[in-house]
Amino acid sequence: MGNNDSGSSPPREIHSRRREFRTRGDSMPVSPHTLLQHVQDRTTDLRRWLDTGENTATLTAYLRDEPVDHRWLSTYRRLTHDLLRAVDHASPPREPHDAPTPSVGRQSDLR
């Protein structure tokens, strides 16, 4: 193998077997491995932040509807948003449903 400079046939292209995805709004394809790496990185970011200082205790307070610092809440929301966005990008696109979604809940709630 190598470059074929003789001109008798075009050089062979090597194709990867991995599927490529395009993230929403991006024009360049991104491999599933890269998308999953982004999810892992965002998960690590959130875990490291929670392991710093009093962030885990503050999360517990927040989950109990206790007041928390505005800066803490902004950081938590940003890190969570970044993680969820990475998960959304890594998820395969959903196929549209032809059948209506079955209704869930009590009949009195549906009226």
pLDDT digits (tens, 9 = 90+) for 49-94: 999 999 999 999 999 999 999 999 999 999 999 999 999 999 887 7
- What do you get for the CA distance between the two ends of the chain, in Å? 70
The CA distance from 111 to 52, in Å, is 49
Task: Specify the pLDDT at position 70.
Answer: 96
Which pLDDT band, with edges at 50, 70 and 90, does 26 fall under? low
DSSP classification of residue 24: T
Task: Specify the pLDDT at position 99.
Answer: 61
Task: Specify the pLDDT at position 63.
Answer: 95
b/e code 31-64 from CB counts within 10 Å (16+ = b) = eeeebeebbeebeeebeebeeeeebeebeeeeee
